[in-house]
Amino acid sequence: MSVAPDSLHKQVIEVSQKGGAVRVLGVDPGLTRCGIGVVEGVAGRPLTMLGAGVVRTPVDADLGHRLLAVEEGIEQWLDEHRPECVAVERVFSQHNVRTVMGTAQASAVAMLCAARRGLPVALHTPSEVKAAVTGSGRADKAQVGAMVTRLLRLNAPPRPADAADALALAVCHIWRAPAQNRLQQAAARLRAAAPTSPKGRTA
Protein backbone atom coordinates (compact mmCIF):
# COMPACT_ATOMS: atom_id res chain seq x y z
CA MET A 1 0.00 0.00 0.00
CA SER A 2 1.42 3.37 -1.00
CA VAL A 3 0.85 6.58 0.93
CA ALA A 4 1.17 10.03 -0.61
CA PRO A 5 3.95 11.98 1.21
CA ASP A 6 1.75 14.99 1.93
CA SER A 7 -1.16 12.94 3.28
CA LEU A 8 0.55 12.33 6.62
CA HIS A 9 0.42 16.06 7.41
CA LYS A 10 -3.20 16.78 6.49
CA GLN A 11 -4.66 15.77 9.84
CA VAL A 12 -2.41 18.15 11.79
CA ILE A 13 -3.18 20.97 9.34
CA GLU A 14 -6.92 20.46 9.78
CA VAL A 15 -6.68 20.41 13.58
CA SER A 16 -4.53 23.55 13.63
CA GLN A 17 -7.00 25.39 11.39
CA LYS A 18 -9.77 24.59 13.86
CA GLY A 19 -7.74 26.22 16.62
CA GLY A 20 -8.27 23.29 18.98
CA ALA A 21 -5.76 21.55 21.20
CA VAL A 22 -3.59 18.87 19.62
CA ARG A 23 -2.55 15.71 21.44
CA VAL A 24 0.96 14.62 20.47
CA LEU A 25 2.85 11.49 21.46
CA GLY A 26 6.59 12.15 21.48
CA VAL A 27 9.06 9.30 21.02
CA ASP A 28 12.73 9.48 21.98
CA PRO A 29 13.78 6.27 20.19
CA GLY A 30 16.12 3.74 21.71
CA LEU A 31 16.38 -0.02 22.14
CA THR A 32 17.32 -0.17 25.82
CA ARG A 33 15.07 2.76 26.81
CA CYS A 34 12.55 4.26 24.42
CA GLY A 35 11.20 7.47 25.91
CA ILE A 36 7.50 8.23 25.55
CA GLY A 37 5.69 11.47 26.41
CA VAL A 38 2.17 12.68 25.69
CA VAL A 39 1.37 16.40 25.65
CA GLU A 40 -1.83 18.20 24.75
CA GLY A 41 -2.30 21.85 23.91
CA VAL A 42 -2.03 24.57 21.32
CA ALA A 43 0.80 26.94 20.47
CA GLY A 44 0.78 30.09 22.58
CA ARG A 45 -1.17 28.58 25.47
CA PRO A 46 -0.23 26.49 28.52
CA LEU A 47 0.39 22.84 27.66
CA THR A 48 -0.63 19.77 29.63
CA MET A 49 1.32 16.56 30.18
CA LEU A 50 -0.92 13.49 29.96
CA GLY A 51 1.76 10.90 30.60
CA ALA A 52 5.45 10.07 30.36
CA GLY A 53 7.58 6.98 30.73
CA VAL A 54 9.88 4.57 28.94
CA VAL A 55 9.61 1.28 27.11
CA ARG A 56 12.51 -0.91 28.24
CA THR A 57 14.05 -3.98 26.60
CA PRO A 58 16.76 -6.28 27.99
CA VAL A 59 20.17 -5.78 26.39
CA ASP A 60 20.80 -9.54 26.21
CA ALA A 61 17.63 -10.32 24.25
CA ASP A 62 17.55 -11.02 20.53
CA LEU A 63 17.15 -7.95 18.33
CA GLY A 64 13.87 -9.16 16.91
CA HIS A 65 12.37 -9.66 20.37
CA ARG A 66 13.60 -6.23 21.49
CA LEU A 67 11.98 -4.52 18.51
CA LEU A 68 8.77 -6.45 19.16
CA ALA A 69 8.82 -5.27 22.78
CA VAL A 70 9.27 -1.66 21.65
CA GLU A 71 6.34 -2.04 19.24
CA GLU A 72 4.09 -3.53 21.92
CA GLY A 73 5.02 -0.78 24.36
CA ILE A 74 4.32 2.03 21.89
CA GLU A 75 1.03 0.40 20.90
CA GLN A 76 -0.06 0.40 24.55
CA TRP A 77 0.65 4.14 24.80
CA LEU A 78 -1.25 4.77 21.56
CA ASP A 79 -4.21 2.73 22.80
CA GLU A 80 -4.32 4.56 26.13
CA HIS A 81 -3.84 8.16 24.98
CA ARG A 82 -5.17 8.22 21.39
CA PRO A 83 -2.86 10.99 20.07
CA GLU A 84 -3.55 12.90 16.87
CA CYS A 85 0.11 12.98 15.86
CA VAL A 86 3.36 11.22 16.68
CA ALA A 87 6.62 13.20 16.91
CA VAL A 88 9.84 11.19 16.65
CA GLU A 89 13.42 12.33 17.10
CA ARG A 90 15.21 12.36 13.75
CA VAL A 91 18.19 10.02 13.86
CA PHE A 92 21.53 11.71 13.19
CA SER A 93 25.01 10.33 12.63
CA GLN A 94 26.97 9.31 15.68
CA HIS A 95 30.44 7.87 16.21
CA ASN A 96 28.96 4.74 17.82
CA VAL A 97 27.47 2.94 14.80
CA ARG A 98 25.85 0.25 16.96
CA THR A 99 24.03 2.87 19.01
CA VAL A 100 22.76 4.81 16.00
CA MET A 101 21.57 1.59 14.36
CA GLY A 102 19.52 0.68 17.41
CA THR A 103 18.10 4.19 17.57
CA ALA A 104 17.17 4.09 13.88
CA GLN A 105 15.49 0.71 14.28
CA ALA A 106 13.42 1.89 17.25
CA SER A 107 12.53 5.05 15.33
CA ALA A 108 11.28 2.97 12.41
CA VAL A 109 9.11 0.91 14.76
CA ALA A 110 7.53 4.09 16.16
CA MET A 111 6.79 5.40 12.67
CA LEU A 112 5.34 2.02 11.67
CA CYS A 113 3.01 2.01 14.67
CA ALA A 114 1.77 5.48 13.80
CA ALA A 115 1.37 4.77 10.08
CA ARG A 116 -0.61 1.61 10.82
CA ARG A 117 -3.19 3.80 12.58
CA GLY A 118 -3.14 6.50 9.93
CA LEU A 119 -1.50 8.99 12.30
CA PRO A 120 0.75 11.71 10.89
CA VAL A 121 4.43 11.43 11.83
CA ALA A 122 6.73 14.41 12.35
CA LEU A 123 10.53 14.17 12.65
CA HIS A 124 12.52 16.74 14.63
CA THR A 125 16.28 16.86 15.11
CA PRO A 126 17.70 17.09 18.64
CA SER A 127 18.92 20.63 17.99
CA GLU A 128 15.45 21.69 16.81
CA VAL A 129 13.89 20.32 19.97
CA LYS A 130 16.49 21.92 22.24
CA ALA A 131 16.12 25.29 20.51
CA ALA A 132 12.31 25.16 20.70
CA VAL A 133 12.24 24.26 24.38
CA THR A 134 15.25 26.10 25.83
CA GLY A 135 16.15 28.68 23.19
CA SER A 136 19.52 27.04 22.55
CA GLY A 137 20.25 24.19 20.17
CA ARG A 138 23.22 23.22 22.35
CA ALA A 139 21.35 22.79 25.63
CA ASP A 140 22.21 19.74 27.70
CA LYS A 141 19.77 17.16 29.07
CA ALA A 142 19.55 18.88 32.45
CA GLN A 143 18.52 22.16 30.82
CA VAL A 144 15.94 20.40 28.64
CA GLY A 145 14.52 18.61 31.67
CA ALA A 146 14.32 21.83 33.65
CA MET A 147 12.48 23.67 30.89
CA VAL A 148 10.09 20.77 30.31
CA THR A 149 9.32 20.84 34.03
CA ARG A 150 8.63 24.56 33.88
CA LEU A 151 6.63 24.55 30.65
CA LEU A 152 4.39 21.67 31.72
CA ARG A 153 4.11 22.98 35.30
CA LEU A 154 5.43 19.78 36.88
CA ASN A 155 6.63 19.36 40.45
CA ALA A 156 9.89 17.70 39.40
CA PRO A 157 11.78 16.89 36.19
CA PRO A 158 10.51 13.70 34.50
CA ARG A 159 12.67 10.64 35.06
CA PRO A 160 14.47 9.09 33.36
CA ALA A 161 15.82 11.71 30.97
CA ASP A 162 14.47 9.74 28.00
CA ALA A 163 10.93 10.54 29.16
CA ALA A 164 11.79 14.24 29.47
CA ASP A 165 13.25 14.20 25.95
CA ALA A 166 10.06 12.61 24.61
CA LEU A 167 7.96 15.32 26.28
CA ALA A 168 10.25 17.95 24.78
CA LEU A 169 9.64 16.43 21.33
CA ALA A 170 5.88 16.69 21.81
CA VAL A 171 6.16 20.30 23.02
CA CYS A 172 8.42 21.17 20.09
CA HIS A 173 5.95 19.77 17.59
CA ILE A 174 2.94 21.56 19.08
CA TRP A 175 4.83 24.85 18.93
CA ARG A 176 6.32 24.33 15.46
CA ALA A 177 3.39 22.69 13.67
CA PRO A 178 1.40 25.90 12.96
CA ALA A 179 4.40 27.55 11.27
CA GLN A 180 5.22 24.37 9.36
CA ASN A 181 1.62 24.09 8.21
CA ARG A 182 1.62 27.68 6.96
CA LEU A 183 4.79 27.01 4.98
CA GLN A 184 3.32 23.83 3.50
CA GLN A 185 0.12 25.63 2.53
CA ALA A 186 2.07 28.50 0.95
CA ALA A 187 4.20 26.02 -1.02
CA ALA A 188 1.05 24.21 -2.16
CA ARG A 189 -0.49 27.48 -3.35
CA LEU A 190 2.68 28.33 -5.29
CA ARG A 191 2.69 24.92 -6.95
CA ALA A 192 -0.98 25.28 -7.86
CA ALA A 193 -0.45 28.76 -9.30
CA ALA A 194 2.66 27.86 -11.29
CA PRO A 195 1.97 27.61 -15.02
CA THR A 196 2.31 24.14 -16.42
CA SER A 197 4.64 23.66 -19.37
CA PRO A 198 2.95 22.29 -22.49
CA LYS A 199 3.80 18.71 -23.29
CA GLY A 200 4.32 17.04 -26.58
CA ARG A 201 5.30 20.19 -28.50
CA THR A 202 8.01 19.86 -31.10
CA ALA A 203 10.08 22.56 -32.73
Active-site residue list: 28, 89, 162
Closest listed residue to residue 109, CA positions, set 78, 79, 72: 72
Closest listed residue to residue 54, CA positions, set 36, 74, 31, 72: 36
- Phi, psi of 50, rounded to the nearest 5 degrees: -100, -15
HSE-CB of 49 using CA atoms within 13 angstroms:
23
Residue 85 is given by DSSP the state: E
